[in-house]
Amino acid sequence: MSMFLEVKAEDLEGVEASPEEIESLDQFEEKKVSDANSPFANLLGNLLAGGGRQRQGRVAGGSISRNDPVVEGGMLYGQDFLEIRQGCLDNGNLFTDPEFPPDNASMYFSEDVPYGVEWKRPREISSNPQLFVGGASRFDINQGELGDCWLLAALANLTLNKKFLYRIVPKDQSFTEEYAGIFHFKFWQYGEWVDVVIDDYLPTRFGKLMFIHSKDDNEYWTALIEKAYAKLHGSYEALKGGTTCEALVDFTGGCTEMYQLKERDVPKNLFQILQKAYERCSLKGCSMEPDPNVLEARTDIGLVRGHAYSITKVMNVRIETPQASGKIPMLRIRNPWGNEAEWKGPFSDGSAEWQFIPDEEKELIGVDFGQDGEFWMTYKDFMKYFDQLEICNLTPDSLEDLDDFSDRPKWSVTTLHGAWIPGQSAGGCRNFIGSFASNPQFRITIVDPDENDDEDLCAVIISVMQKGRRAMRDEGLDVLTIGFALYYLKDPSAHEGPLNTEFFRFNKSVGSSKAFINLREVSTRFRLPVGTYVIVPSTFKPDEEAEFLVRVLTEKPSDAQEM
């Protein structure tokens, strides 16, 4: 969950206060996305799965952390794609994955498998299976029986830049050359890229793919990438419910922001933030608040509640009417269902408003009125009807080895790892002042203001991400309620070590995550004066155990380290 907060230099003068005043100011709220009125309710599942067949034993034996999948040499379960494929070719066998075999346990851990399920290889399903048919397109991706529209929206974003896509889907594999029933895909996991090997058995019912599938029956990249992602998390069921941001992070290594568009603290310059994100090739998604009584309820205006959409273009579009001419802010949005379920309001496909957009402008922005799930709408209508916006900001990790972005502006990123250990470093939020100071603390120093900032402030995004919780769902564990607080140091030299309880009694925070919430990642965008700050990430309650990752994004390089 994300928010925006601007701090001016004069705000830093009043950070010291009485304990009574601070108690009233620095009290945090716990939010649960399972609340019936939460805009996340139908995007996040209430069940969560566990890793491959060997993970539980390795965790129990203490050889790996329970927060992480088994990664050896950058490969999930140490499975080397090239080595395994060559062995299959030498022996004349097709690969069957012992870590994620074609059986019921790979599909569900708490539900019964539906009648009629058969695992089949693509050659048993289609006459001419291919990884891609005519290249990858956002129109390839269609949802099946699994509640993972959040994953589809992220995949649609991924197709907008082939460099990102082909890092996830390596080109050294096909259904023709050196085919051995084995494929591999790469996902970002907490600071490293992990290669995931799968066999190509896919669950079908009555001869059709059950889950994500492509528009062309011979195309399989969408179904196979979903299977690899399911393996990473332990089962297909583990993918039920999530946020587009979570998948975008795993596909890019980026850092996410999430905005509630109906709340008062939405940045006034949000369209400019969206434009800048689009220019940086950041990936974006949006959704409407769900209907608590109807899953993915369709509205009269054509939009679907509780459903994840991808934003595929952000532009000021030239318009000419009899009364005036100029530009209007607009967005192009796609429903991953890829059908006629589209926006029916102003600037919907074929609507009268398009007569005021010059033909050359329509050609320039790529207007297409096909029943493909994609549509245009004004920024004003976007803010009126959508409730949630997600932005995945690309980091140097995201853009590594991608030459197309060498001249694009990039965030400077610092990555820090930590752990909440009960009885040692799991102090809970500031509400629990007696133990709060025991949490891990990270100092960040910002030296230079951003260029072209009239107020000499610095754009800073702070993200806290808990590790591996989706892979613990079959253990009955879920994501913890997490957040962070940000403190300003007037005299950094007076605080060489961690800040103590006395400091927190008499110094109020200058910013924080908006609430403590049970999401994998929480983040906040700040505009801060130069200076030295301390980030205190924590769970809401004390003595809750997890490992976590802190990332700090700044326009200019900054220095961050654990205290």
Query: What gap in Å lies between CA 208 and CA 519, rounded to an integer?
Result: 34
Query: What gap in Å lies between CA 154 and CA 416, rounded to an integer?
Result: 26
DSSP letters for 276-321: HHHHTT-EEEEEBPPBTTBTTPBPTTS-BBT--EEEEEEEEEEEE-
Query: What gap in Å lies between CA 384 and CA 186, rounded to an integer?
Result: 37
**How crowded is residue 172: how many other Cβ atoms within 10 Å of its Cβ?**
11
Active-site positions read 149, 307, 335
Please return the burial class of 267, using the count of CB atoms within 10 Å of its CB with bins 0-12, 13-18 and 19+: middle
Query: What gap in Å lies between CA 196 and CA 471, rounded to an integer?
Result: 15
Query: What gap in Å lies between CA 8 and CA 260, rounded to an integer?
Result: 23
**Strand partners of residue 205:** 117, 208
Task: List, edge to edge, every strand of the sheet that includes 546-554.
Answer: 4-6, 521-528, 458-466, 546-554, 412-420
Give the strand pairing for 521-528 and 4-6: parallel
User: Among 433, 417, 418, which residue's Cα sits nearest to residue 542?
Assistant: 433
Cβ proximity of 290 and 42 under 8 Å: yes
Q: What is the 8-class DSSP label of residue 488? A: E
